[in-house]
Amino acid sequence: RAERDRVAALSQAKSAFLSRLSHELRTPLNAVLGFAQLLALRLGGAEQAPHRHEVAQIEQAGWLLLRKIDDLLDLSQVEAATPAAPLAGVPVAVAACWQQVCDALAPLAAARGVQLQAEVAPADAQVLADPARLPQVLQQLADNAVRHPRPQGTVALRLQREGPQWCLAVQDDGPGIPPEQLACLFEAFERGPQTGAAHDGLGIGLTLARWWVQRMGGSIAAQSTPGQGSTLCVRLPAADGGDPA
């Protein structure tokens, strides 16, 4: 029991540290973003175009860092088992989510020679979800798949009705995930078998994706066969509330 208490205390201390660190980082970062935006407004004229581009890169990097900090704040709540309010459950069109994911990941897919396919979603395919978080969740799943394909591989966004809910699946034909790693895929800092030291990310994306989906009243699951690829499925309530007609 003493060992369990010690581990629990260490976990709480880590969560508290992450929360404090995230708050401390936001203040100077907000100043960086504010001054970058102000500087961009002052750089007028064609001759200043190269400098505007450089300032835009600073601002883009700042927003990326801010999202990472927000992720750490969310992770501190997950690890501390802090009760979180349910995310807004409003009708969200699956087709619009697919489009956002494809638009965001098209450059990465092209650079890696991956074919990104989205199954055509019917107009009435709507789920009850948070309209901001759901595309973020799906993009996280698709981003992982695009980064770990076979050469000239395919990542497919698929949709299936399952009674009173929809299954939004991200399927790839990559190397797959061994069973022992599949079991802890959604744990924090588990980066998967395909990742290496050069892989981007903190290893918390899938942990947060599961947390957000659960707060939307849904579930997320992974299936994989080594050598044949993986499928991650987000199940959410259908907006019509019942079986399809």
Domains of the chain as residue ranges with CATH: 2-79 (1.10.287), 90-237 (3.30.565.10)
Mean pLDDT lowest among 65-79, 169-183, 228-242? 65-79
Cross-strand pairs, 221: 233
**pLDDT confidence bin for 21, thresholds 50/70/90:** confident
Q: What is the percentage of the chain residues whose pLDDT exceeds 90?
A: 29
Beta strands in the chain (DSSP E): 90-93, 115-118, 126-129, 154-162, 165-172, 219-225, 229-237
pTM over 0.85, yes/no = no
Q: Which of 113, 155, 139 is nearest to 209 (CA)?
A: 139
**Mean pLDDT rounded to a whole number for the chain:** 82
pLDDT beyond 50 at 207: yes
Please, which residues have CB within 8 angstroms of residue 145's CB and are 6 or more apart in sequence?
155, 170, 171, 172, 174, 230, 232
pLDDT beyond 80 at 62: yes
Cα diameter, the chain: 69
> 229, 173 in Cβ contact below 8 A?
yes
Q: What is the percentage of the chain residues whose pLDDT exceeds 70?
A: 85
22-38 pLDDT, tens per residue?
Answer: 778 888 888 888 988 88
User: What integer pLDDT is reported at residue 244 of this predicted model?
Assistant: 55
184-199 pLDDT, tens per residue?
Answer: 788 766 555 544 434 4
Higher pLDDT, 47 or 92: 92
